Amino acid sequence: MRRNEIITLLQGGSDASLFEMARAQRVASFGEEIYLRGIVEFSSHCRCRCNYCGLRAPNDQIHRYRLTPSEILSAVDELAALGLATVVLQGGEDPFYDMASVGDIVSQVKRDHDIAVTLSLGERGSDAFAHWRACGADRYLLKMETMNEALYGQFRPGCDFHRRLAGVRTLQTLGYETGSGIITGLPGMTLETLADDILAITALKLDMISAGPFVPHHQTPFGTQAGGDPRIALRTMAILRLLNPTANIPATSALEIVEKEGRRQGIDAGANVLMFSVTPESVRKNYAIYPGKNQETQSAAHTITNARALIRGMGLIPSTSRGGVKVDRG
């Protein structure tokens, strides 16, 4: 697919056929199954100063928390009891959890449960990545947010674009199922920028790719900016599905916040993964990366039951599989 073709699709006017092709490709790759993941967000502390994220270090208006290893493992126990086959251990870039402590948690999860472990802990050294892989971590998500170096510097001040990109490649070399992603509609982005992002992230040959709309957080420098158009996020997901047939692509929580029935629409646009927080209810709402995140009052069990009903109602199958993929990078 050429750049000008992607721009035309992002402009709209052919959504019905675009989404139909994306759904057909998802079925060709995954059948009727939709994978469910549980996320344990174990720290709201972060050393970064990203201009779009509520967890940014300078934000002194939010409640910070850290879960203990036993609290993390208890949340994983709940996730496994709910029949989910993948846990995503996620947090801000928090050095409090060092290489050894995270490795111990991963090792214990793998001893206790036959589930896949995905880590999403930001930039760490190659030694840490290698150690966690040796402890049993299966996947790692390191989002770029944009593949445009100039915009990256505006979105993530103090962070190095090339170092982060090198981290993605290191993860691939270590044998992780590797994921990254972009945020659509960030300030300064154009459809041309987004088309370039789509092509650049496709060139990485990732196993997982996320694309969700920008949701402005009032406690950040981007708080007064317009949010991302959910239709453009859906078109991006569909295009990514066509360009990355076997990659796991989630219908993001951000999409659900900005668009009624956003997760349903995400599946209709080619997504094959739904992810839900199983962070303890006592702190879940404090993982406030954007407004509306984790604000539901239902239990994780109730949320997962509803998700399975949604999937079945669409004529699809809520899978109990780990849902791993390994994209051919040859």
CATH topology for 3-319 is: TIM Barrel (3.20.20)
The pLDDT confidence band at residue 117, using thresholds 50, 70 and 90, is very high
DSSP 16-73: HHHHHHHHHHHHHHHTTEEEEEEEEEEE---S---TT-TT-TT--SS---B--HHHHH
Residue 330 pLDDT greater than 70, yes or no: no
Q: Which residues pair with 19 in a beta bridge?
A: none
Amino acid at the residue 152: Y
pLDDT in tens, 163-186: 999 999 999 999 999 999 999 999
Which token pair is 95?
């050095």
- pTM score, two decimals? 0.96
Note the helical H segments in 156-229: 161-173, 191-203
Q: How far apart, in whole angstroms, are the C-alpha atoms of residue 260 and residue 321?
A: 28
Domain boundaries, the chain: 3-319
Cα four-point dihedral sign 189, 210, 143, 286: positive
Strand, helix or coil for residue 273? strand
Degrees, nearest 5: CA angle 176-181-187: 155
Are 199 and 6 a contacting pair, CB within 8 Å?
Answer: yes
pLDDT in tens, 139-169: 999 999 999 999 999 999 999 999 999 999 9
Q: What is the mean pLDDT of residues 279-301?
A: 89
Core vs surface per residue 182-205: b (16+ CB within 10 A) or e: bbbbbbebebebbbbbbbebbebe
